[in-house]
Amino acid sequence: MRIVENTSKTAFTLAEVLITLAIIGVVAALTLPLFFNNYQKKVYSNQLKVSYSILNTGFKQMLSDSAVTKFEESEAAGMLGFDTTNNWTDEDEAAVFKKYFSALVYVPYSQQVKEGWPNGNNVYTGDTCKKFVGKGSTWYKRNNRTTCIGCRQEVYKLANGALIRMGFFSSFPEMQNTGRLKRVVGEITIDVNGERKPNVFGEDAFEFALGNDGNLYAWWDDSFAKYFSAVEKGDYWDYYYKLKDGTNLCTDQRYNGRACAAYAEEHNWEVY
């Protein structure tokens, strides 16, 4: 008997192909935004970690070069405004930043004054936000993206593209029995992706305090809370990124996102 092999093939109908493509489209629409969001967070986390390392290493080197243990006693601190007996200039500050952080001036303070940049950590809305958000000194609030917070301070750019806003001051006292952070001598905001969006606190912008020991401390972390509760004679929980009832000021969408540096610091630099 001769056996004949069946070589016929079963083909998909047009309707079946269209249904399959529709299913793939739905799955892609549901998963791609989540995938992109997770990828973006990993990029921001890495940029934050690198930027923090650059700044922290540079400040510690300032102390080492002057053989001191306090930032205020270093030669670099004097050039950043702590030594009022000399006529230090913006060029002196720029030289310090270039030497220790390989950072270049992005927008000088004098230009900010001339152009009327937002000032004083005040809250702004409307055209002011649209004009200045993204320039490295003003960011949107996370819980209300129609309002922004600005502070006029020198803006620099790191080699990795991050913008940093730095201000130094000698107004806070030195405290004892407050843990590692005994005096705050500066405030630093890092925008990890520079001018690019979203320019929102807690997403790509993160705030830190500079301690007199040359270390960076996340704004609202444990050390920050111990120090400011002692300075202000207040409750520790008023200065920590978690409230006494467990509310997390970073992850709770009711808050502006300025406590998210503390969250990242305590979660291996993972951005929420």
pLDDT reported for residue 9: 55
Residue spans of the domains in the chain: they are: 16-266
* Mean pLDDT across 101-120: 93
Q: Which of 161, 271, 164 is nearest to 216 (CA)?
A: 164
pTM for the structure as a whole: 0.86
How far apart (Å, rounded) are the C-alpha atoms in residues 225 and 218?
Answer: 10
pLDDT reported for residue 250: 97
Q: At what angle do helices 14-65 and 90-101 cross, to 10 degrees?
A: 110
pLDDT reported for residue 83: 78
Q: What is the pLDDT of residues 162-220, one digit of tens each?
A: 999 988 988 999 999 899 999 999 999 999 999 999 999 999 999 999 999 999 999 99
Q: What is the pLDDT of residues 126-158, one digit of tens each?
A: 999 999 999 999 999 999 999 999 999 889 999
What letter represents residue 48's amino acid? Answer: L
Residue 4 has pLDDT above 60, yes or no: no
pLDDT reported for residue 89: 83
Q: How many CB atoms neighbour CB 178 within 10 A?
A: 18
Confidence class for position 91, pLDDT limits 50, 70, 90: confident
How far apart (Å, rounded) are the C-alpha atoms in residues 183 and 112?
Answer: 28
SS (H, E, C) the chain: CCCCCCCCCCCCCHHHHHHHHHHHHHHHHHHHHHHHHHHHHHHHHHHHHHHHHHHHHHHHHHHHHCCCCCHHHCHHHHHHHHCCCCCCCHHHHHHHHHHHHCCEEEECHHHHHHHCCCCCCEEEEHHHHHHHCCCCCEEECCCCCCEEEECCCCEEECCCCCEEEEEECCCCCCCCCCCCCCCEEEEEEEECCCCCCCCEECCCEEEEEEECCCCEEECCCHHHHHHHHHHCCCCHHHCCCECCCCCECCCCCCCCCCCHHHHHHHCCCCCC
**Contact, 227 vs 166, CB < 8 A?**
no
Which of these ranges, 23-37, 41-55, 134-148, has the smallest mean pLDDT?
Answer: 23-37
Residue 245 has pLDDT above 70, yes or no: yes
Residue 5 has pLDDT above 60, yes or no: no
Residue 2 has pLDDT above 60, yes or no: no
Count of alpha carbons within 13 angstroms of residue 100, beta-carbon side:
25
